Structure 1
Amino acid sequence: MIKIICARPFDYDRILALLQHGKLLTDDVMAAGTRYWVAQTDSGELAACAGMEFGEDAVLFRSLAVYEDYRGEGLALRLIERALDEAKAEGYHHAYCFSTRAADYFQRIGFQQVPVTQLAKALPDVPQVMRFAAIGKLPGEKAWWKALR
């Protein structure tokens, strides 16, 4: 059985390894205020991870990765639902994410494509937005939004 839990400090190296394995950006992934969840087997093996950065009224979902052996088991959706449920419970009203590779997936689970400028305006001070702005990556990104109700 695989359970979704909040990441603990000893999970961070494993999260970084999974993100690198998936060729995802790892700059600022452990910035202060960023929260992670992991999908973990009963034996403690890391199967998947996801993170979230927090603004005033919105959150930025980031760093979703699933090891190949665990794909097709619904772990990505379970991680997204857990993260968004916690954000909603804490009073956040909007969730955003960047994705150029998983557009169809995010649309299927209720995200709508929005201008990158909307995301950047809603979350100007979160680490991933600041990093993308600093390295000139914002114009080439695709932004996604979902209301948290």
Structure 2
Amino acid sequence: MPIRKAVAADLTGIQNLLLANGLPAQDVSGALIEGFLVAEDARGTIVGSGGLEQLGSSVLLRSLAVTPELRGTGIARELVAQLECHARSLGRQEIWLLTATAERFFERVGYERVSRDEAPREVRLCRQFAALCPATAACMRKRLPPNPLPDADGRLESS
């Protein structure tokens, strides 16, 4: 399944996917779309999305969704892996998120549940934390290893 950087024309498709999955979509805007990736099926329909919202020196993984019939096929895992790689390229060492429904998925890909109080101030003050996600949503964090460096032959080191 091809995954690519989202463009402005994808906004409605992303919002529709989020709404179909019971996720907040009202704050996903043209300004926020720059940090999003989308997965498309063979017809060009958006079947997965996820994004990074930069909040000062922190980053929030948000709006991860996959159409129900394609869950369990690795799309969400690949979206998260690519978003984490992007966060590392931005110099970020950790990613924060809130989830009311996917805590087990995020645990499987290396996120840990933490207290909301542990989140940096700029994350706690964002709209996702302050208003859009319920207080019962799990706050999770992943500390990111640095991007691997290429060795003398151009291959990535596994460190």
User: With structure 2 as the length reference, what TM-score do the two structures score?
Assistant: 0.81
State the shift of 1:15 in Å.
0.5
Q: What corresponds to 1:44 in structure 2?
A: 44
Structure with the greater alpha carbon radius of gyration: 2
Higher normalized contact order (CA 8 Å, seq sep 6+, divided by chain length): 1
Q: Any unmatched runs of 5+ in structure 2?
A: 146-159
Give runs of ≥4 in structure 1 deviating > 6 Å: none
How many residue pairs match? The answer is 144
What's the offset of the Cα at 1:130? 4.1
Please say if residues 19 and 26 of structure 1, whose CA atoms lie closer than 8 Å, have aligned partners that are also in contact.
yes
Quick one: distance in 1 between partners of 2:57 and 2:67?
A: 32
The runs of 5 or more residues in structure 1 that have no matched partner are none
| Cα separation, partners in 2 of 1:53 and 1:127, compared to 1, 3 Å | farther
Q: Cα distance 1:33–1:68, how it changes in 2: closer, same or farther (>3 A)?
A: closer
1:24 paired with 2:33, answer: no
CA apart distance, 1:103: 1.3
| CA root-mean-square deviation | 1.9
Q: State the percentage of identical aligned residues.
A: 26
What is the aligned counterpart of 2:141 among 139, 142, 145?
145
Q: In 2, are the aligned partners of 1:54 and 1:126 still within 8 Å (CA)?
A: no
Q: Structure 1 CA distance, aligned partners of 2:16 and 2:123?
A: 27
Tell me the distance in 2 between the aligned counterparts of 1:101 and 1:42: 28
Q: CA deviation at 1:72?
A: 1.8
What do the CA deviations read for 1:85-112 (whole angstroms, capped 9, x no partner)?
0010110111011012111111111101
Q: TM-score, normalised by structure 1?
A: 0.86
Q: Matched residue of 2:83: which SS?
A: helix
Q: What's the secondary structure of 1:17's corresponding residue?
A: helix
